[in-house]
Amino acid sequence: MGKRWRIVSVAAITCVLSLLVGLSACGSPKQGDAETQGTEAKSTTALMGQSGELDENGFPKPAVRTLEGGIQIQRTPDEAYPGTLDGSVPYHTPEVYVPYNTYYLKADEKGCNACHADLAKTIDSMPYDHPDLENPFGIQVTVQMCIDCHTYGAGYLTNNKSFGTMVHGIHNTSQKAECWNCHVGTGSGDGMQLWDIVKHQQLRGIKPVENVKGDFSFDQTKTISADEMFDFSWLSYDGDYDRKAKTAAGVPIDEDLFKTWTITFSGAVGKEATYTLPELIEKYGSVQVPLTMHCTMNPVGGPLIGNCTYTGIPLSKIFADLGINDGAVGFTSLSPDGNAANVMFDDFKEGYLVYEIDGKPLPWKHGYPVQMAVPGSGAPAWNKSVSDIIVNTEAERDSMYEWNGWPKEAGDGETYTPAGWPYVTSNGFLNKPNVGIFNFSEGQVIKTGQPYEFTGYAHGYDREITAVEFSMDGGATWTRGETPGTTKDNWIVWKFAYTPEEDGAGVLTVRSVADDGTVTDEPVEMLFNAKSE
């Protein structure tokens, strides 16, 4: 079940050398600092360090935090079960058990959530303009998601594989964390690993469950509002800045803009035409349909996804009326500021010129007065403020690329090379199929003997989801939940009701399976603590 990413750096090696010279080089976090960049001040004693409570032998107990609403979080397991997730147990039991997690590992002082209760809020508080990861689903943003985005990112990220350098710089400046708060050393000589990536293999007290049993169900009908839908703007074009400013200022929508907005159809069509939005609605009609928009660079388990009810004009009716020339390979939608997005006809069934969400006009942030919506394609195809649709010829194929998943990059699958454009997708996709867990935090406490209903999403862009699978023994065995009759137009919202039979910690691992047999590249996992009281 091991994760793929390992962060090795000069700073980490320096930390090891410092440890050899004197153990004081890496100690407890410095107390009293504000949240990184100073906008979310918290006492670190409330978030990290020891709980302050001792067991009968005078050793520290795992820290427990109570969130708003009464939910309890215990990131470090109790050790009633002495073994680990892979099933290994100590070969002897000493008369006085020294808690491995709190005494030797000092686990409550490790990992991002030791200092930052909510990484999404921490990121949003920084001065650099970052896509908003706060979300209505209760998805906990993890450092693995950050690593994904700052490893692959050709076309928007200048410094690929920059996460280690960037984060070491930030924490060095804040002087808040020591090396050992983020890293765990290895005895194999492989260098340092991030605690948050390997913690479930390091902690004791996690009892594996073979072929975990639970009640599985799913549906595709859950929708969210326009306000809850993420804004996938990367502030790359003038229109992005204009929409952001209007949204921030609360500028009312301009009804005259809707009435006069025109869309021109050209290229490999039987006849070119220009219509206003009202003319298109009157001539071709509109439909109301739920559709999932999924950011191409949504990390595994990430929150950049949503399913809304849209009102729009079917492109198929317009194309049938205008006529598509033989050999046409796709179409390009354009916005007045020059933003362009491609859709290939290879797997195209339908697209929509949408102008309402939940029966109300699009808000500015989603491209008022009209947005392209293409089920099965990533968010870049959902171009905002569409003014032109150009049908493309075979000669233009090589210059086109449809974003329907986050491809691993060309060459060795990790490094972007210009010769690899528009991407060699035989390397696979990082986030296709994708899966996430709703409304659950690492270390959350659930009731022993009572069913707890885990829930989340699964989506495969242009691939249909055929199953969601669950493991509680580190991926050694998987329990399959079939999802027959689903469509790629909408996300799957899955539920898995699991009843812990005894007190103790477990790790639920989730992955989705697509119709071509591919599975989630990085299964999502969460630690929970079952307690009778």
Q: What is the pLDDT of residue 7?
A: 34
Whether 475 and 430 have beta carbons less than 8 Å apart is answered as no
User: What is the model's pLDDT at position 342?
Assistant: 95
Dmax (CA) for the chain in angstroms is: 87
CB-based contact 70:493 (threshold 8 Å): no
Per-block mean pLDDT, blocks of 10 residues, the chain (533 long)? 36 36 36 34 41 84 92 95 91 82 94 93 88 94 91 67 85 74 82 92 96 98 95 82 94 97 98 98 98 94 97 98 96 96 93 97 96 95 97 93 80 48 65 97 97 98 97 98 96 98 97 96 96 91
CA 526 – CA 522 distance, rounded (Å): 13
Domains of the chain: 62-200 (no CATH), 213-218+427-529 (2.60.40.650), 232-397 (3.90.420.10)
Structure confidence at residue 154 (pLDDT): 59
Contact 330, 343 (CB under 8 A): yes
What are the residues whose beta carbons fall under 8 Å from the beta carbon of 166, sequence distance 6 or more? 150, 159
From CA 337, how far away is CA 365, in angstroms rounded? 15
Q: Cα separations (Å) of 421 from 70, 274, 398, 401, 409?
A: 50, 33, 10, 9, 9
pLDDT for residue 250 = 96
| H-assigned helices in 158-237 | 163-174, 179-182, 195-202
Q: What pLDDT is attached to residue 164? A: 87
Mapped onto helix, strand or coil, the DSSP state of residue 380 is: helix
Give Cβ neighbours of residue 55 (< 8 Å, ≥ 6 apart).
Answer: 61, 99
Beta bridge partners of 309: 290
**What integer pLDDT is reported at residue 46 of this predicted model?**
39
Report pLDDT for 50.
55
Cβ neighbours of residue 507 under 8 Å, at least 6 residues apart? Answer: 85, 200, 206, 472, 474, 525, 526, 527, 528
Contacts of 355 (CB under 8 A, 6+ apart): 258, 277, 281, 286, 311, 312, 313, 361, 362, 369, 370, 371
pTM: 0.88
Distance CA 461, CA 301 (A): 14
